[in-house]
Amino acid sequence: MADPVLRLAGIRKTYGRGETASEVLHGIDLRLEPGEFAALIGPSGSGKSTLLNLIGLLDRPSAGQLSIGGEATGGLDDAGLTRLRGRHIGFVFQHHHLIPAFSARENVALPLLVARGRPDAAMFARADALLERVGLADRRHQPADRLSGGQQQRVAIARALAMQPALVLADEPTGNLDTRSADAVFGLLREVNREAGTSFLIVTHDPRLARRCDRIVELVDGRIVADAPNRPD
Amino acid sequence: MRPWMPFELIAALRFLREGRTQSVLIVVGVGVGVAVIVFMSALLSGLQSNLVRRTLSSQAHVVLLPPEEVARPQGDPARAALHLQRQAQRLRSIDQWQPLRDRLQTWPEIAAVSPVASGPAFAIRGDANKAVTLLGIDPERYDRVIPLAGRLNAGELRVGSGEAVIGIELARELGAGVGDKLRLTTAAGAAETLTVSGLFDLGNKGVNARNVYVGLRTAQTLLDLAGGVSSIDLALHDLDRAEEVARRIAAGTGLTADSWIRTNAQFVTALTSQRVSSNVIRFFIALSVAFGIASVLVVSVIQRRREIGILRAMGATQAQMRRIFLLQGAIVGLLGSLLGSALAWSFLAGWRLLARDGAGSPLFAIDVEPALVGIAAGGAGLVGILAAVLPARRAARLDPVEAIRG
Ligand SMILES: Nc1ncnc2c1ncn2[C@@H]1O[C@H](COP(=O)(O)OP(=O)(O)OP(=O)(O)O)[C@@H](O)[C@H]1O
Ligand SMILES: [Mg+2]
């Protein structure tokens, strides 16, 4: 069997130190196979975002092992983590988080630009194709902050896919959208998963959306209390 | 996005363009600082070179004299007195001055060599009797050391036998003009009647009243120097090296070599301290420009925390973040220096209109040298980068998780 896209073993995260130290994650074991489409649910403050940031290599665990695409991350320095993150992981955040100084297409091309150092025609062609895929081809020259919330989130999805990552992490990607836009955005993630075989780990508060995933992982007080396959209806 | 632009430059330019008001304000701030520096530098160098030129209009860069017989006391007034005393006693000639002249002529530092036979004399015309300094010169050589031909008010620079060129002041005192005769007598007891062929104005009243130029041979006869010269005047290509060249000649020939720097020690000290104080002012202006840039960039790092976090999440390294902010500092510095140079140029244009003498001609020439603009641009760019070091480090160290939250 191929390497899992993601493997966590005994991951702990402590914030602060000394008197004020508090452990937020108490030993998380998790494995995500290529092509899996998983929901991460749990009450507010249970540590979902914390876990996602660790997996996204934006933060380091206090203890435990974390490997991405079969590569252990424990010994990597900041540059090594950054490189791994850029190559393997796409992000979609709750607050879309586009760069307002760049147009929609430039935002989508951003991960490629960051990785290659200089703009080229190929990266914009890829950005245009991705914008086409998310239905925003005609908006590609708009500054990012002139798009609606749903449109911005679609641009963010296109951006997350720019590097053809094995894993996309989405932290409440529909949290700020009305029901219709939320459905559309979620549908888009699902389609990309089916077409490209990209793995997804999606944090959501919406049980309706969670039920549309293949697997539901539930986190309570920093522990995984349930992890079961799900049959999307 | 132009294809040749690196990602860091693109991001730096976008960030500056997006924070337009801040960017404009800080560029103007840098510009004003640079303008003051450029304007002050141009003004000072114009002023100083004008002062030096005036001072040297009647002085050679280096004067070679026969070796001293007694140790010379230091200090200007004493020396001048001794000089007069010694000259009054006896005029001495420089040994073997012709080969020396030809040898000096081959030095790359030396622009012109002019042997001079000079000594005290009296100029008499009618009842008027004036003490003067008689200078026997080879006019072509002399003119290359002290540009006399260009400073003539009347007549021409002609010192054949029986001819003399005198200053306008002496001409006034004696009531003589071009074509008039005057009689010269010396302590040696010689006398000769000469025709005034030209009147000069070297811009120095003492010199205009004292110097009487005649041919080398005439002076040698009158001063009883018999084929000798009492000094050799030198012009150099580089004024500032006068002292060094003088020392080398003195060491090589045993002659006394006086550089203009030593002869005008107080003046040169004044110029130097003027430059030092202007450097101090420049340094503090540069410092305040640097703090201005730094504070704007620090604020910008805080304002852009979220974008920095996104870029980091998209795979931007700490080094890339650092460069984005260093570049912003450099760009602000460069733009500011261009603006500042333009401002300084217009200050100077205004100055040229205002600073005129009674006759309406400019007091002195000042210009913004292209090199100065280049130095200002390079300097401001560097100051910008240095000022950005701290903000850039903060941007690089920003925790992406913190930056993205909320
Ligand atoms: N930087 C930090 N320093 C200290 N405590 C933190 C920090 N970040 C998060 N926490 C704490 O860790 C716990 C988990 O937070 P986290 O944001 O992961 O929860 P969450 O499950 O994403 O919640 P929500 O559903 O509200 O987004 C919370 O108690 C929070 O207060
Ligand atoms: Mg959260």
Quick check: CB of A15 below 6 Å from ligand 1?
Answer: yes
Q: Contact B318/A78, CB-based, under 8 Å? A: yes
Q: B362 near B352, Cβ under 8 Å?
A: yes
Is the minimum CB–CB distance between B2 and chain A shorter than 8 Å? yes
B18 closest CB neighbour out of A100, A113, A116? A100
Q: Residue written as tokens 């080094």?
A: B319
Q: A155 near A188, Cβ under 8 Å?
A: no
Give me the amino acid identity at B100: L
Name the pairing type of β-strands B211-215 and B128-137: parallel
Q: Residue written as tokens 């340094």?
A: B283
Q: Contact A58/B404, CB-based, under 8 Å? A: yes
Chains A–B, number of C-beta pairs less than 8 Å apart: 82
Q: Tell me, what's the ipTM?
A: 0.88
Instruction: Tell me the CB-side half-sphere exposure of residue A22, using CA atoms within 13 A.
Output: 8
For residue B19, the chain A residue with the least C-alpha distance is A101
Q: B198 near B31, Cβ under 8 Å?
A: no
pLDDT tens over chain B, length 406 residues: 677 899 999 999 999 998 889 999 999 999 999 999 888 888 888 888 888 888 888 889 999 999 876 544 455 554 455 555 444 456 788 888 999 999 999 999 999 999 999 999 999 998 889 999 999 999 999 999 999 998 999 999 999 889 999 999 999 999 999 999 999 999 888 899 999 999 999 988 999 999 999 999 999 999 988 889 999 999 999 988 999 999 999 998 888 999 999 988 899 899 999 989 989 998 999 899 999 999 999 999 998 998 999 999 888 999 999 999 999 999 999 999 999 989 988 888 888 787 776 666 666 667 667 787 888 888 888 999 999 999 999 999 988 888 777 5
Is residue A21 scored above 50 in pLDDT? yes
Chain centroid to Cα A121, Å, comes to 26
Q: What's the rounded Cα separation, in Å, for the pair A221 and A224?
A: 8
**How close is the Cα of A50 to the center of ligand 1, in Å?**
6
pLDDT in tens, A23-61: 999 999 999 999 999 999 999 999 999 999 999 999 999
Residues ≥6 apart with Cβ < 8 Å to B354: none
For residue A60, the chain B residue with the least C-alpha distance is B401
CB proximity under 8 Å: B 3-22 to A: 3-7, 10, 14-15, 17-18
The 8-class DSSP code of residue A137 comes to G
Is the minimum CB–CB distance between A101 and chain B shorter than 8 Å? yes
Residue A8: its H or E element: strand A6-15
What region does B331 belong to: left with phi over 0, alpha with psi -120 to 50, or beta? alpha
Is the minimum CB–CB distance between B315 and chain A shorter than 8 Å? yes
Q: Contact B318/A118, CB-based, under 8 Å? A: no
Q: Count of H helices and E strands in chain B?
A: 15, 10
* Percentages of chain B per state (helix, strand, coil), in multiples of 5: 60, 15, 25
Band (pLDDT 50/70/90 cuts) for residue A106 is very high
Q: A131 near A152, Cβ under 8 Å?
A: no
Q: Identify the sign of the CA torsion B6, B11, B14, B16.
A: negative
Distance set, CA A120 to CA A125, B2, B4, B313 (Å): 9, 9, 9, 21
Is the minimum CB–CB distance between A167 and chain B shorter than 8 Å? no
Is the minimum CB–CB distance between A21 and chain B shorter than 8 Å? no
Q: Which of A210, A172, A21, A14 is nearest to A93 (CA)?
A: A172
- What are the beta bridge partners of residue B257? B64
* Contact residues on chain B for A111, CB-CB shorter than 8 A: 314-315
Hey, whose CA ends up nearest to atom 14 of ligand 1?
A47
Which residue among A17, A49, A59 is best mutated to probe the pocket of ligand 1, counting the most ligand atoms within 8 A of its Cβ? Answer: A49
Quick check: CB of A48 below 6 Å from ligand 1?
Answer: yes
Report the predicted TM-score, pTM, of the whole model to 2 decimal places: 0.76
Is residue A217 scored above 70 in pLDDT? yes
What's the length of chain B? Answer: 406
Q: Residue written as tokens 């000079």?
A: B118
